[in-house]
């Protein structure tokens, strides 16, 4: 199969020949549609639900999950990590078991690149804990991790935890040795605890700038510590709600584009109408202005961000070029979770996950999506 467009990474008109993998890439003298752009398919490594469907609902049907994946596909996402958050052990395990069934059996199963477990080994404090239920926060337990892996046939790719737990360094070392990416998040950890986590193998800060206290010490705090450590990449929720523009721009400069990852942290209300939804055992509301909050509060509980909108927001709010913004949604997350065949971009040998789109002043409009060489949209 062939397609053509303006390659976002180079600005050049190219043709691409592909089946499962990209077989050839060549320059095109004259582009038939000079406004059609082509990039690797988007990758979202933190998505709690989408299109009205909660990935933290163990009673969800395969049809429900298929609906969520269809909505994700329409935003240019070709790979994602459905994310299970803090909850009772049996509940979390049931969610992962269901999602693994979806990964095995759905027509859109190839969108599911693995799973992200965010919690339950996070800070119990208000602020850093975010919207996670306090009663189910617990210390790192490698036996629980092994149960997750057994339920998913070894498909846990990312675990977010707080390094303040005494068990954290040994836990991080164990899961990274198993090939899983360890991320720091929802933490109030000290400088020494963060350093110990990085030494043990942590390589990512999850949605940096969120899941934090409302006020922090000016001279030294866990945000600065993570920003300053070049061994840590960082993910950001770029919806214009979770982060102030000045912090976003500063953080992107500190991390530089190569260590920055766009995530949606989307929950069930994403790509759905304002109203009440669920996030695990909790009610959440999508407000008319686009916020997802715990019902009856102003506490954020994920987002309603679409990945294509996040890419555009990085150019408008973060000051990145389109090329840079696309990198944070494609090759950068692939490298963070070591997703084979997606780390080079549009190059011979990489898996043919592609998105064709147009950029306007107010939107990124998805025209076509290919997954493993097959047109999916």
Instruction: Show which residues are catalytic.
Output: 265
Q: What share of the chain is helix, strand, coil (3-state, %, to 5)?
A: 30, 25, 45
CA distance 73 to 376: 8
Distance in angstroms (rounded) separating the CA atoms of residues 321 and 57: 38
Structure tokens at 143: 């036996």
DSSP assignment, residue 319?
-
Kindly provide the b/e burial profile for residues 161-196, where b requires at least 16 CB atoms within 10 angstroms of the residue's own CB: bbbbbeebbebbbbbbeeebbbbbbbbbbeeebbbb
Say which residue the tokens 């939107």 belong to: 363
* Rounded CA separation 323/330 (Å): 11
SS3 state of residue 277: strand
What is the spatial distance between Cα 137 and Cα 143, in angstroms, rounded to a whole number?
16
Which residues lie across from 6 on neighbouring strands? 13, 37
């Amino acid at each position: 199969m062939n397609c053509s467009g303006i390659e976002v990474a180079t600005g050049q008109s190219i043709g691409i020949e592909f089946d499962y993998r990209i077989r050839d890439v060549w320059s095109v003298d004259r582009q038939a549609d000079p406004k059609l752009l082509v990039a690797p398919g988007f990758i979202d490594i933190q998505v709690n639900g989408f299109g009205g469907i909660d990935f933290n609902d163990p009673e969800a049907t395969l049809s429900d999950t298929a609906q969520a994946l269809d909505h994700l596909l329409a935003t240019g996402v070709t790979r994602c990590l459905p994310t299970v958050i803090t909850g009772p052990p049996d509940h979390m395990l049931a969610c992962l078991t269901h999602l693994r069934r979806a990964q095995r059996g759905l027509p859109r199963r190839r969108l599911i690149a693995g799973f992200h477990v965010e919690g339950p080994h996070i800070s119990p404090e208000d602020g850093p804990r975010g919207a996670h239920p306090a009663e189910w926060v617990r210390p790192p337990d490698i036996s629980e991790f092994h149960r997750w892996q057994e339920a998913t046939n070894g498909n846990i790719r990312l675990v977010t935890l707080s390094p303040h737990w005494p068990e954290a360094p040994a836990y991080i070392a164990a899961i990274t040795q198993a090939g899983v990416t360890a991320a720091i998040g929802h933490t109030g950890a000290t400088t020494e605890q963060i350093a110990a986590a990085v030494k043990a193998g942590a390589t990512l800060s999850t949605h940096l700038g969120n899941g934090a206290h409302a006020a922090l010490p000016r001279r030294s705090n866990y945000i600065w510590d993570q920003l300053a450590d070049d061994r840590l990449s960082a993910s950001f929720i770029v919806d214009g709600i979770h982060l102030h523009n000045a912090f976003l721009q500063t953080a992107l400069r500190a991390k530089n584009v190569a260590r920055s990852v766009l995530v949606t942290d989307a929950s069930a209300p994403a790509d759905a109408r304002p109203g009440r939804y669920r996030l695990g055992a909790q009610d959440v509301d999508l407000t008319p202005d686009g916020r997802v909050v715990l019902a009856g509060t102003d506490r954020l509980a994920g987002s309603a961000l679409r990945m294509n909108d996040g890419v555009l927001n990085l150019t408008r709010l973060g000051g990145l070029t389109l090329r840079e913004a696309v990198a944070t949604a494609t090759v950068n997350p692939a490298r963070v979770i070591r997703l084979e065949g997606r780390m080079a971009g549009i190059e011979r040998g990489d898996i043919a996950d592609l998105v064709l789109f147009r950029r306007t002043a107010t939107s990124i409009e998805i025209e076509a999506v290919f997954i493993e060489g097959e047109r999916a949209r």
